[in-house]
Amino acid sequence: MAGRQLELFGQEAQPARGEPVRDPAFLERVRLDLDLLLEEYRRAERLPGGDITRATVAELRFHGLAALLPEAEARPLVEAFDAELDRLYAIEERLSGRGPS
């Protein structure tokens, strides 16, 4: 459905599904959440919580939040987060004896 949808219990128009969110305060919160999560993974010496499931959920969350930002802003953040995940997965593999030493 293109365009804007009327709110069920009011007349205020809401963004249609798939339409970019443009509320500056919301986008600032998204940026803060992304920065905090990226910093947590940059500081980590092992997967936070030592759990691949938690890392997978964090990855999905990060990618989902980043998708709300303009692509030019989101791309370097996603690349940085993915690089940190790769680093941490390599550490876990090495420590478990499954990866290269």
Give pLDDT tens digits for 24-58. 999 999 999 999 999 999 999 999 877 889 999 99
Residue 10 lies in a domain: no
Q: pLDDT band for position 98 (50/70/90)? A: confident
Start-to-end C-alpha separation, the chain: 53
C-beta of residue 31 within 8 angstroms of C-beta of residue 38: no
pLDDT at 2 exceeding the cut of 90 = no
Residue 40 lies in a domain: yes
Task: Please count the structural domains in the chain.
Answer: 1
Residue 6 lies in a domain: no
Residue 32 lies in a domain: yes
3 state DSSP class of 46: coil
Residue 16 lies in a domain: no
Q: pLDDT band for position 96 (50/70/90)? A: confident
Q: What is the pTM of this model?
A: 0.75
Segments forming the whole domain that contains residue 84: 21-96
Nearest CA to 39 out of 86, 76, 88, 80 is that of 80
Residue 29 lies in a domain: yes
Residue 1: per-residue pLDDT: 46
Residue 44: per-residue pLDDT: 96
Residue 71 lies in a domain: yes
- From residue 55, alpha-carbon distances to 18, 63, 72, 86, 93 in Å are 26, 12, 24, 11, 14
pLDDT at 95 exceeding the cut of 70 = yes
